[in-house]
Structure 1
Amino acid sequence: MSIERVKQYFRRLGIEDRILEFDVSSATVELAAQAVGCEPERIAKTLSFQVQDKYILVVTAGDTKIDNAKFKQQFHTKAKMINPDEVERIIGHDVGGVCPFGINEGIEVYLDVSLKRFKSVYPACGSSNSAVEMSIEELEKYSNFTAWIDVCKIIIH
């Protein structure tokens, strides 16, 4: 179970006790916001893509979606999400729990600038019923991110 990978990863950092586990699903932005008790935009969703011959994660605010033109400008290719059936094998976490912590080797993590609006956000912790509150600085530190990028647009509700 990939939440165990995140717990092990966080244990080495001394922050394992910050993981929130819920009796309800947090597999979608809306469900996670309800479970945590915050606005949906503060859920840090992690999306997995194949870019040429490598795999990447893009962590973005919960009220955004990928802007295909911006993605292509950033990565020089169309946004191609990893097939949901292959996400766990490639990334190390299954859909609904994908996060930038305790992932497989060689996966690059990018943080979208949409997250910078918040003091803290809630990414998942490897399962469809977990999250952790992190400041933006902590997210940078603990996700071992590659770079800040701008590949999203905010969805107006």
Structure 2
Amino acid sequence: MSLASVRAFFAAKAPDIAIIELQTSTATVALAAEAHGVAPGQIAKTLAFRIAERNVLIVARGDARIDNQKMKECFGAKSRMLDAQTVVELTSHPVGGVCPFGLATPLSVYCDRSLLAFDEVLPAAGATHSAVRITPQRLAELVDAEWIDVCQEVETEPC
């Protein structure tokens, strides 16, 4: 269902956004950045967590790391990443293609402020070889995401 559910999502909510399908895998941040010719930070990775009694998705820049203390402060409870099988069951997307679009189960989606460093980001689109180009603001609007700050500061190299 994965890629098909993402296609249906965009057909209904944002027909102007094209799904990019490549012949090569984009299952990791490094592979995706290389395949799309962008910085690793522009890859919008979607991470699935169990926090207290609920499952949530957090979309963050590709080169950012989750800060466990910020997570606890933001959500008021400890969090743990979900295993691959649970992620597939909840989203219908395989690990490497997980995105907040076309989900099998309604989940709360949060966008980390780290995404706002870019005018355009590339989240996966339900398969390990697909993505979309989108502004962080539009991404958040389409999935009704709340903006949060749960990532460690990313050190950028001077030009």
CA contact (8 A) 1:43 1:123 kept: yes
CA contact (8 A) 2:122 2:131 kept: yes
CA shift digits 1:26-50 (9 cap, x unpaired): 0110001111111100000000001
Per the alignment, residue 56 of structure 2 pairs with 56
RMSD: 1.5
CA shift digits 1:34-77 (9 cap, x unpaired): 11111100000000001112110000001101000000111122
Higher mean displacement: 128-137 or 84-93: 84-93
**Offset of 1:124 from its aligned partner?**
0.4
Letter in 2 for 1:29: V
Task: Give percent identity, aligned residues only.
Answer: 40
Higher mean displacement: 37-46 or 135-144: 135-144
What is the TM-score of this pair, normalised by structure 2?
0.92
Once residues 119 and 91 of structure 1 are traced to their aligned partners in structure 2, the CA distance between those partners, rounded to angstroms, is 26
What is the TM-score of this pair, normalised by structure 1?
0.93
Per the alignment, residue 72 of structure 2 pairs with 72
Gaps of 5+ in 2: none
Number of residue pairs aligned between Structure 1 and Structure 2: 156
The 5 A counterparts of 1:23-34 are 23-34=23-34
Runs of 4+ in structure 1 over 2 Å off: 13-17, 154-157
CA contact (8 A) 2:111 2:148 kept: yes
The verdict on how the C-alpha distance between 1:16 and 1:8 changes in structure 2, with shifts beyond 3 A counting, is farther
